[in-house]
Chain A
Amino acid sequence: MGARRRAPLCCCALLLLWTWAGLLEARGIDQEPSVFVSESFGGHPPKPQVLWLDPTLRDAARAILGHEPAMLRLRYWLADGRSAWVLEEIGKEEPITVGVVIDQGRIERLKVLVYRESRGFEVRHPAFTNQFRGARLQSDGRLDHPIDGITGATLSVSAVSRLARLALYLHARVERGS
């Protein structure tokens, strides 16, 4: 087979391989939620606590998420002013599971734990999630610094951002309560 014929075939093979690799990377569990929580507290997570979404909380959650929260109560882990949350939000069609650790009202760590969509998986990369470090919630419910979006992952980016804002709001609420 001549070089002229080999070149297009090689390109097709590479393209297929790249697409397949991309699809492989698309969905999956990056980290078990239980491992995330344990890591966040140095291997000794506190006992989870329960937060009922009373009408005020539900209204706030609805304003942040843009829809009714899926559950009537949530669990969180709180020790020495640091809280960890494992929350889910629909990206385009499937839920994205995100772990958020908050300390002194700022996001200390945010990680996509389980990604189920077939596209937009770039939100799992530290290059994206590291943007949330140090973020606070403003009085208008927005983060105090902008988060750069990802082309082709708009819905996933929006879902993760909403969860970050919700976690900050909930942290403020439980900190006041404790």
Chain B
Amino acid sequence: MSRRKKWRLRSVFLWHRYMGLGAALFVLILAVSGALLNHTEALDLDDRAVQNAVLLDWYGLALPPVVSYRAGSSWVSQAGTGLYLNDTALPDAKPLIGAVALDGQLVVAGSDRLLLLTTDGALIERLTSLEGLPAPVRAVGADAAGALLLRTADGVYRPDETYSEWRQTAAEAVRWSTPEPAPPDLRDRIVGLQRGAQLSWEKVILDLHTGRILGTAGVYLMDGAAVLLTGLAFTGLWHWIRRQRK
């Protein structure tokens, strides 16, 4: 082989070596994240919420405001778009108007619906105007006998035993549900859950895979990695072909 050809071969080999070194980290990231994404469903990555505060801060997920109502020994809270019974998510009843503990039941009131729950949080029924609920609800409370009362723009209403009929009634000695600050540890858990609910591990791994986790710069970085890997493939192949011809 001529000296020139040897030099060329060595030069390509050196390119190949340094490209490989440069791409090593990206290859690891792409391989691991790609493998995880291939098994998203099996690993449940799209359902797993991120709880890591550093990641949540990185994504700029703001701390949601928390409004809580005490209902017996439980707390019903609204944090951003989420509704919680203690630290368990509830079906939608936004905006939260109040919550009351009755005999063996919890009543969570939104402006246009009521959620009837067992004391351990199982949903008994969701009531809307279809079921005759007077709306919009402005307040929920209980009278001295522990009976549920709703206040709307038209007055105060009391339901029958099955919540099928609502009759106007006088509001006497009513304890209306009002917001109270929830215990700090519960509040922190709710905030963490609500922030995490907006970010799944699938999204984080996908952003890592595409470079978007570093914004536009990360995308260009991954584009550069793609160029490096392409160069790696070609230089490697070229070098191998040339070696075969020797």
Which A residues fall within an 8 A CB radius of B?
Answer: 32-34, 37, 47-50, 70-75, 86
Number of A-B residue pairs at CB separation under 8 A: 32
A interface secondary structure, majority: mixed
Give Cα A49 to B160, complex, Å.
Answer: 12
Q: Is there an interface contact between A71 and B124, defined as CB atoms closer than 8 Å?
A: yes
Given A33-B130, A34-B129, A48-B132, A70-B123 contact (CB < 8 Å): yes
> When the two chains form their complex, are residues B164 and A47 in contact, meaning their CB atoms are under 8 A apart?
yes
Tell me whether B132 and A73 are in contact (CB under 8 A).
no
Q: Residue B162 at the A interface, CB < 8 A?
A: yes
Given A72-B118, A72-B124 in contact, is the A50-B162 Cβ separation under 8 Å? yes
Q: Are A72 and B123 in contact (CB-based, < 8 A)?
A: yes
Q: Sort A-B residue pairs by CB-CB distance and give the 4 closest, nearest first.
A: A33-B130, A72-B124, A50-B162, A34-B130
B203, chain A: closest CB distance, angstroms: 15
Complex Cα distance A71/B121, Å? 11
User: Considering the chains assembled together, what is the distance between the CA atoms of A34 and B112 in angstroms?
Assistant: 14
> Interface of B with A (CB < 8 Å)?
91, 118, 122-126, 128-132, 162, 164-165
Bound CA–CA A70/B126 (angstroms): 10
19 more contacts with CB within 8 A, not counting A47-B165, A75-B125, A75-B131, are A32-B130, A33-B128, A33-B130, A34-B129, A37-B130, A48-B131, A48-B164, A49-B164, A50-B162, A70-B123, A71-B123, A71-B126, A72-B123, A72-B124, A72-B125, A73-B125, A74-B125, A75-B164, A86-B130
Nearest CB of A to B47, in Å: 12
**CA of A70 to CA of B130 in the docked complex: distance in angstroms?**
18
Output the least CB separation between B91 and chain A (Å): 8
Q: In the complex, what's the smallest C-beta–C-beta distance from A87 to chain B, in angstroms?
A: 12
A72-B122 in contact (CB<8A): yes
Which of chain B's residues have a CB closer than 8 A to the CB of A34?
Answer: 129-130
22 of the cross-chain contacts (CB-CB < 8 Å) are A32-B130, A33-B128, A34-B130, A37-B130, A47-B164, A47-B165, A48-B131, A48-B132, A48-B164, A49-B164, A70-B123, A71-B126, A72-B118, A72-B122, A72-B123, A73-B124, A73-B125, A74-B125, A75-B125, A75-B131, A75-B164, A86-B130
Q: Which residues of A are found within 8 Å of B128, using beta-carbon distances?
A: 33
Cα–Cα distance between A132 and B46 once the two chains are bound (Å): 35
In the complex, what residues of A have CB within 8 A of residue B118's CB? 72
Q: Bound state CA distance, A120 and B126, in angstroms?
A: 26
CA A49 to CA B165, docked complex, whole Å? 11
Knowing A48-B164, A50-B162, A50-B164, say if A71 contacts B130 (CB, 8 Å). no
Q: Once the chains are docked, how many angstroms separate the CA of A86 from the CA of B132?
A: 14
**Minimal Cβ-Cβ distance residue in A for B91:** A70
Q: Specify which chain B residues have a CB less than 8 angstroms from the CB of A71 in the assembled complex.
A: 123-126
Q: How far is the CB of A50 from chain B (nearest CB, A)?
A: 5
Write out the residue numbers on chain B whose beta carbons fall within 8 Å of the beta carbon of A49. Answer: 164
Give chain A nearest CB distance to B138 CB in angstroms.
Answer: 21
Q: Cβ of A86: which chain B residues have Cβ within 8 Å of it?
A: 130
Give the nearest-CB partner of B115 in chain A: A71
